[in-house]
């Protein structure tokens, strides 16, 4: 097994994550607008992307295990850094370094964007909760009048009243 298969898998992962980043940017705009229907569409697209990422990741892991066993290395200890240290071909080394750097940068951007989306979602939920609380009567308002005033009036007997 050559390293080209691993690089191709990493390149696919980078493209999928770049696409996820674009979806996340779109999700931010939809959250700002409050368009729940469009948000649901984006979430479905995002779910499909995540499934594709999981499939490509499984393929990548399989290719790394195969490469490691072909070269008599421990598959569990094989990381990108390990590969970079043990690749004799300079072109493969540069290609692997470039694609992993690109993937890492995209992942950092995606994480930041999703953190922003989470904050926007939490703020939206707080706004909705506040509006519901303002519209729904509280338990204290259901009982009309002051409890202390009612208890003091109830203690007065019928004979205390003026005729």
Q: Cα 29 to the chain's mean position, in Å? A: 16
pTM for the model: 0.76
Regarding predicted confidence, which is higher, 59 or 153?
59
Q: Of 79, 54, 57, 75, whose CA–CA distance to 66 is shortest?
A: 75
Rounded to whole angstroms, how far apart are CA atoms 6 and 2?
8
Look-up of token digits 């240290």: 85
Q: Of 58, 104, 59, whose CA–CA distance to 80 is shortest?
A: 104
The arrangement of secondary structure in 3-139, i.e. its CATH architecture, is Up-down Bundle (1.20)
Digit-coded pLDDT (tens) for 109-152: 999 999 999 999 999 889 888 888 888 765 555 555 555 555 55
Sketch the domain layout of the chain as residue ranges: 3-139
Digit-coded pLDDT (tens) for 45-102: 999 999 999 999 999 999 999 988 988 888 888 888 888 888 888 898 899 999 999 9
Q: What radius of gyration, in Å, describes the C-alpha atoms of the chain?
A: 31
Rounded to whole angstroms, how far apart are CA atoms 124 and 120?
6
Indicate the helix (H) or strand (E) that contains 2: none
- Give the pLDDT mean for 32-47: 92
Rounded to whole angstroms, how far apart are CA atoms 102 and 97?
9
**Sign, Cα dihedral of 71, 74, 80, 81:** negative
């Amino acid at each position: 097994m050559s390293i080209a298969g691993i690089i191709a898998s990493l390149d696919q992962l980078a493209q999928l994550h770049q696409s996820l980043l674009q979806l996340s940017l779109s999700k931010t705009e939809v959250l700002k607008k409050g368009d729940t229907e469009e948000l649901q569409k984006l979430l479905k697209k995002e779910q499909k992307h995540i499934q594709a990422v999981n499939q490509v990741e499984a393929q990548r892991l399989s290719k790394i295990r195969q490469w490691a066993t072909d070269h008599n290395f421990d598959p569990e200890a094989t990381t990108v850094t390990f590969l970079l240290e043990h690749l004799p071909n300079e072109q493969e080394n540069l290609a692997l370094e470039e694609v992993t750097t690109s993937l890492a940068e995209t992942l950092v951007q995606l994480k930041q964007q999703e953190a922003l989306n989470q904050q926007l979602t939490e703020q939206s939920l707080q706004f909705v909760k506040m509006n519901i609380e303002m519209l729904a009567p509280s338990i204290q308002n259901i009982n009309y009048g002051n409890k202390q005033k009612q208890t003091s009036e109830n203690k007065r007997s019928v004979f205390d009243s003026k005729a």
